[in-house]
Amino acid sequence: MSRCRVCSAAVHEFLDFGRQPLSSAFRSPGETEKEFRFRLAVGICGSCTMVQLLEEVPQGRRAHKGYPYHSSGSTVMHEHFERTARRFLSAELTAADPFFVEIGYNDGVVLDTVRDAGVRQLAFEPSGEGAGRVHCSFFDTASAQEVRTAEGPADIIYAANTLCDVADIATVLEGADILLAPDGVLVFEDPYFGEIIERTSFDQIYDEHFYYFTARSVRAMARRSGFDLVDVERLPVHGGQIRYSLARTGRRGPTAAVTELLAEEESRGLTEPETLNGFTATVATIRTELVELLRRLTREGHRVVGYGATAKSSTVLNYCGIGPDLVPLVCDSTPSKQGRLTPGTHIPVHPPQAFSDPYPDYALLFAWNHAEEVMAKEQAFREAGGRWILYVPDVHIV
């Protein structure tokens, strides 16, 4: 039996994708070494309701030496982070000589904006990316203490797409307790489990997303570490996220948004067994329908290519057993993925130019979280008669 990584109670499994490769383990074509696999399965804690993976990938097995998140070459994400920084500058960072801390370097977008406003800033990033500007370690009690001693208390600690990946999340809250000023806030944004259920976006489930937060589970986790959930905000990015704000117990009351979201989760039965089992059944239906569609299109002589070699696509491809026979290539704008093969399913990744050379009949949109931006950019594909295949919230062609 698995134990909850937050509160140690029993975790009840509700979805098992089987043995999967790591979502970032793109291979070179010549590589023959056996790929590392782990069991990708999700469960819910019977006590604190935290949804989590049953198996954690050890740090030594990971391709990333640090926090993996990047703003994915998306203009929308770039703007999102600039807007976020400006919001902080007009709220939490208005006292005399404020101090902003980020967990994960994240292309430096937030840091740059904060720096340009003259505010002291620092990120924790163990990979060394952003060298010269970052504290080269994971965020934990020891590194938090070092920074506290050197720089004094932080007014805000911010993490985007990072905390959901930290299985040992209690150490982050302990570190925040050390580094934050008495009225400081820990703000983090990650995929929302309520949205995953709503859209059946099962591809959000992969090795680098260990936790699938809800307001209820985040509040329970916060309380165990001397914090309160004081605000929540829905974010339209990455297929539906929530930004959670935690403050020390008793320093701030929760906003109406917190009360509303907790009530909504309760009335939806978000963490009830029927909801979770219904989700699992719908995921299986999507697999059947997607594979049938791709087989039929291939049989009929249509060419289908993948768009965006996302981490999410690893779950879809491996769970559905989709390889180069059904999707001969995937286009992606990330240079380090190009010329390599997708983890487990070994589909070649090509640069974006390959998409129009010539246009395929169908494009399977793995980067569906950027659908608006991608479809606007690829209008000529539609005009040439191309169609998009989406599998979230169900398998459909647009």
Using CB distances below 5 to 8 A depending on partner kind, what does residue 309 bind out of Zn ion, ligand TYD, none?
ligand TYD
Q: Which residues pair with 233 in a beta bridge?
A: 243
- CB of residue 76 vs ligand TYD: minimum separation in angstroms? 7
Q: What minimum distance in Å lies between the beta carbon of 349 and ligand TYD?
A: 9
Residue 332 CB, nearest approach to ligand TYD (Å): 4
| Among Zn ion, ligand TYD, none, partner that 367 touches (CB below 5 to 8 angstroms by kind) | ligand TYD
**Per the structure block, which two tokens stand in for 39?**
């069991």
Site for Zn ion in 29-58 (CB under 5 A): 45, 47-48, 50
User: Minimum distance between the CB of residue 5 and Zn ion, rounded to whole angstroms?
Assistant: 8
**Does the protein bind Zn ion through residue 196 (CB under 5 A)?**
no
Distance CA 211, CA 139 (A): 17
Positions touching ligand TYD (CB under 6 A) are: 72-74, 308-312, 332-334, 352, 367, 369-370, 373-374, 377
Q: How far is the CB of 239 from ligand TYD (least distance, A)?
A: 9
Strand 51-53 to 37-45 pairing: antiparallel
Nearer Cβ to ligand TYD (92/332):
332
> Which of 4, 40, 93, 365 touches Zn ion by CB under 5 A?
4
Closest CA to 172 of 139, 147, 149: 139
Contact of 313 with 368, CB cutoff 8 Å: no
Annotate 4-51 with DSSP letters as a single string.
Answer: -TTT--BEEEEEEEEEEE-TT--B-TT--SPPPEEEEEEEEETTT--E
Of 7, 123, 144, 331, the residue at the interface with Zn ion (CB under 5 A) is 7
- Tell me which of ligand TYD, Zn ion, none is bound by residue 6, counting a contact when its beta carbon lies within the kind-specific cut-off of 5 to 8 angstroms: Zn ion
How far is residue 316's CA from residue 301's CA, in Å, rounded to a whole number? Answer: 23
Query: In terms of DSSP H, where are the helices of the chain?
Result: 75-90, 109-116, 141-151, 169-179, 193-199, 215-224, 256-268, 273-299, 311-320, 371-377, 379-383
- For ligand TYD, the closer CB: 49 or 241: 241
Q: Do residues 310 and 367 lie in contact, with contact meaning Cβ atoms separated by under 8 Å?
A: yes
Residue 144, number of CB atoms within 10 A of its CB: 25
Which of Zn ion, ligand TYD, none is residue 127 near (CB under 5 to 8 Å by kind)? Answer: none
Interacting residues with Zn ion (CB under 5 A): 4, 6-7, 9, 45, 47-48, 50
